[in-house]
Amino acid sequence: MTTVVVTGGAGFIGSNLVRYLRRKHQDWRIFNIDKLTYAGNLDNLAGIEVGPEYNFIQGDVADGAMLARVWARRRVKYVFHLAAETHVDRSLNDAVPFVRSNVEGTAVLLDVARAEGVEKFIYMSTDEVYGAVPKGSDEVFTEDSPLKPRNPYSATKAAADLLCQVQYASREMPIVILRAANNYGPYQHPEKFLPLMLTNLMEGRQVPIYGTGQQLRDWLFVEDTCKALVTLAEHAEPGSIYNLAGSGIIPNIELARKVLGVLRMEEEDSLKMVEDRPGHDFSYPLSAEKIERELNIRSETKLDDGLRRTIFWYRSNEDWWRAIREGKFKDYYKKQYSEL
Ligand code: NAD
Ligand code: TYD
């Protein structure tokens, strides 16, 4: 039996990955380790029954003793390491939890996985580790581009990315790194741009657009990421690093307009320009040539299709997002969006 560890499996991408694995690899045995921070949510896993093929462990990846217990008496084939603090805006206010989970957590997990054994360790990195290109630049990031992160979130992701790389360099630990663009899809926490936009609009509120809305992002449907993660586990060479782009970069304001188009809402009433994010990264244009050439992986979902599916999901799952918005999120929202 193939045993896999997913960290951060109660978050957005992690829960989509658990669902994907339960659909596509029903004989795999999953150990989902998640601390259940404000971003982790067992509602994301509703319908996935705990049993021989699926186990949930509430725990911190920086807790080596807990990790050693997970490894005890079983051979773990793949680790999908997704657990992290992930929100740039929060990291700009308090970097410490990011260092603890993203850097220390990754270091501890790497040590345990190396000591106890793993056939492939997949680290979910981000395009943000490259830093950003300024407006007007035609630079595109390849896997060999230097890492120049520009906010605490991406600095800790870059540190963890390097910790993974050095485990391969020094100990030939079978690490594979995926640097992915902005994911979107079902179960994304409403603090992130697209779900914030959808849930605000559904609550009759305006959508906050940072600065002028001209920053560019590349949107990648979460199911394409899940497929890529599994292909990497099964086929990528140890020590390899891959970029995964989405459907092409577009300005934030254009994404908002697309959403308003689907919802048939007027721009004037719906969008509100607010103070910009400090040091707001302009764009992370990725070359996805390597992953396509070597592993035949490409993100297949067109933005318009993925958006329609995502909007449909948020419309059909009001109970899920209202429960989040009515909880602690209220305080965060008030503080972050005092202009609204
Ligand atoms: P998320 O914030 O929705 O989920 C993160 C999960 O990790 C939560 O369930 C949280 O409880 C858990 N977690 C946090 N700290 C932990 C710890 N110390 N121990 C155990 N669990 C912990 O994040 P996401 O958007 O699903 O991102 C998943 C991964 O993908 C992250 O590593 C992120 O950096 C990376 N990534 C995300 C994107 C994106 O656009 N969302 C893009 C590229 C890379
Ligand atoms: P976000 O979802 O936070 O992802 P990231 O910063 O990791 O790319 O933000 C996506 C883009 O949307 C980013 O350019 C910032 C912008 N944004 C807004 O304009 N308003 C908002 O309220 C938020 C949360 C983000």
CATH of the domain at 139: 3.40.50.720
**Which residue in 109, 139, 134 sits closest to 124, CA to CA?**
109
Q: What percent of the chain is modeled with pLDDT above 90?
A: 99
Pairing, β 240-244 against β 120-126: unpaired
What integer pLDDT is reported at residue 232 of this predicted model?
98
User: Would you state the pLDDT for residue 33?
Assistant: 98
Give the torsion through C-alpha atoms of 62, 63, 66, 69, to 10 deg.
Answer: 70
Tell me how far the alpha carbon of residue 177 lies from the centroid of ligand 1, in angstroms. Answer: 15
Closest residue CA from atom 12 of ligand 2: 193
pLDDT of residue 106: 99
**Residue 51 belongs to a domain:** yes
Q: Which residues line ligand 1 (CB under 6 A)?
A: 7-8, 10-14, 33-37, 39-40, 60-62, 82-86, 101, 105, 124, 126, 157, 180, 182-183, 189
DSSP characters over 23-69: HH-TT-EEEEEE---TT--GGGGTT---BTTEEEEE--TT-HHHHHH
Residue 339 has pLDDT above 90, yes or no: no
pLDDT digits (tens, 9 = 90+) for 257-266: 999 999 999 9
Given a cut of 90, whether residue 23 has pLDDT beyond it is: yes
DSSP label at residue 297: -
Indicate whether 13 belongs to any domain: yes
Q: Is residue 326 part of a domain?
A: no
Q: Give the N- to C-terminal CA distance of the chain in Å, as an integer.
A: 52
Ligand nearest to the CA of 244: 1
Domain that residue 86 falls in:
2-183+221-246+280-301
Ligand 2 pocket, mutate which of 193, 209, 220, 254 (most atoms under 8 A from CB): 193
Q: In this structure, which residue's CA is closest to atom 20 in ligand 2? A: 209
Q: Please state the domain count of the chain.
A: 1
- Let me know if residue 92 belongs to a domain: yes
Query: Which residue, 118, 174, 84, is CA-closest to 3?
Result: 118
| Residue 184 alpha carbon, nearest atom of ligand 1 | 40
Which atom of ligand 2 is nearest the CA belonging to 86?
A: 7
The answer as to whether 269 is a domain residue is no
pLDDT of residue 103: 99
| Structure confidence at residue 177 (pLDDT) | 99
pLDDT value for 135: 96
pLDDT (tens digit, 9 = 90+) per residue, 198-230?
999 999 999 999 999 999 999 999 999 999 999
- Interval 283-318: pLDDT, tens: 999 999 999 999 999 999 999 999 999 999 999 999
**pLDDT in the model for residue 257:** 98
Contact 295, 231 (CB under 8 A): yes
List strands edge to edge, sheet with 3-7: 54-58, 29-34, 3-7, 78-81, 120-126, 175-180, 240-244
Q: Measure 330 CA to ligand 2 centroid, in angstroms.
A: 18
What is residue 66's predicted lDDT score, i.e. its pLDDT? 98
- Ligand 2 residue neighbourhood (C-beta within 6 Å): 88, 182, 192-193, 196, 208-210, 215, 217, 252, 277
Write the burial class of residue 135 (CB in 10 Å: 0-12 exposed, 13-18 middle, 19+ buried).
exposed
Whole-number pLDDT of residue 112? 98
**Beta strand spans in the chain (E):** 3-7, 29-34, 54-58, 78-81, 120-126, 175-180, 182-184, 207-210, 216-221, 240-244, 249-251, 271-274
| Model confidence at 73: pLDDT above 90 | no
CB 58 within 8 A of CB 36: yes
Residues 6+ apart with CB under 8 A from 52: 29
pLDDT greater than 90 at residue 156? yes
Token look-up 């902005």 returns: 182
What is the chain's mean pLDDT, rounded?
Answer: 98
Average pLDDT over residues 12-24: 98
Note whether residue 84 is domain-resident.
yes
| 302 CA to centre of ligand 1 in angstroms | 24
Which of these, 202, 255, 245, lies nearest to 221 by C-alpha position? 245
Rounded CA gap, 9 and 30, in Å?
Answer: 10
Name the nearest CA neighbour of 123 among 233, 12, 15, 199: 233
Q: Which two tokens stand for residue 95?
A: 């970097």
Is residue 311 in some structural domain?
A: no
Q: Is position 295 within any domain?
A: yes
Taking the centre of ligand 2 as the mean of its atom positions, its distance from the CA of residue 120, in whole angstroms, is 32
> pLDDT of 115-133, one tens digit each?
999 999 999 999 999 999 9
